[in-house]
Chain A
């Protein structure tokens, strides 16, 4: 995913930097790194979303603790209040982490058009 992201960097930015006097090292630190860091951050948000989903699925299958185990257990006792509460918690945690990352992105990368929107 990271190497794929690096390829998204516009090569004409590298050329522009060269005509402004950049050499190899400055090119790396002043253009390549800042150029790909926003893409990486977006990837991170997507990755965390996936991670959360996998976690739930994994829990459903195995383990005798954790939030999904709690849900199936409570459902067995027909304690539906607790079931719904737990499902809400899963949703809220997922949503909050994504929102926090979005806010953080806006703060850290003010130049990004897309991030300004979220």
Chain B
């Protein structure tokens, strides 16, 4: 990437600025205050999350990014209620979160469909627990399955589906409960690049069309910039908020924007935050001299 003509990632056009102003006026769905998480390990205490603070507004798309081990999964698991916190507050619609519940949908990186249920019955799982009658649950499930484009597979079992299709079902299953927020922990991390791009586009499409707030964890810079309204950048040891970036790329997003100046400027900023230059392996002159001492097969002449 060149430094030459990139704008600052902080520069926003009037339209983008206006959008963020309106976004911040929307009601707060999720609020995290002074969140702290420590793990007791045989090697001693590990501070996984230190003083995390942020808010997400209704229908906002927030990505959380950071190096591996910085506490992203721990954070989202606390929000889901699957992990306890050491101190601090997690508020959903102003009420404190104490355990897992259907008001927060979760999509995991690993495929967590129930293997003994068909696609349709997987999606009906939460609906039935919520007390819907079987035929109503079935009708509702069909609509969600159609939304993720899998109507032809409603009677298939998970083992008959590809990775991308399984994650579509997992998304439909989570959305069927009509949660206040959808929590996603690197949901496309195990998919190949092409499938991943398709999944990102369909997730954007779904998000635009229904009333859902999304908190999405990733370690892929392109994915974060492409999807997010705002990006929460974490750093490791201890896991802390480094910066909360307002993505200056206009909505709605398209794949073509991946090469726009705003996109590249934001990506460059993420790169600086996540891979600071001093941690890179330096190839210095001494090292090169050592390399030159290694005998080379002379039969093939050097092209340098």
Q: A interface vs B, CB < 8 Å?
A: 10, 12-13, 15-22, 26, 30-31, 34-35, 38, 109-113
Contact = CB atoms under 8 A, between A and B. Distances in A.
B80 interface: yes
Contacts of A22: 129
A22 B117 CA distance: 16
Contact of B158 (A15, A19, A111): A111
B114 A19 contact: no
B159 interface: yes
Interface of B: 80-82, 99-102, 104-106, 108, 110, 112, 114-118, 125-126, 129-130, 157-159, 173-174, 177
B199 to A, nearest CB: 19
A18 B97 CA distance: 14
19 contacts: A12-B108, A12-B110, A15-B108, A16-B106, A16-B108, A16-B112, A17-B125, A18-B81, A18-B99, A19-B82, A19-B104, A19-B105, A19-B106, A20-B102, A20-B126, A21-B102, A35-B114, A109-B116, A111-B158
Contacts of B115: 111-112
Given A13-B114, A38-B116, 5 more contacts: A21-B101, A21-B126, A22-B129, A26-B129, A111-B117
B130 A21 contact: yes
A56 B104 CA distance: 58
A contacts with B: majority SS: helix
A108 to B, nearest CB: 10
Most buried by A among B99, B108, B117, B125: B125
A18 B177 contact: no
Contacts of B82: 15, 18-19
Contacts of A110: 157
Nearest to B77: A15
B88 to A, nearest CB: 21
Contacts of B129: 20-22, 26, 30
A35 B100 CA distance: 21
A69 to B, nearest CB: 45
Nearest to B109: A12
Contacts of B126: 20-21
B57 to A, nearest CB: 22
Contacts of A112: 115, 159
A114 to B, nearest CB: 10
A19 B105 CA distance: 6
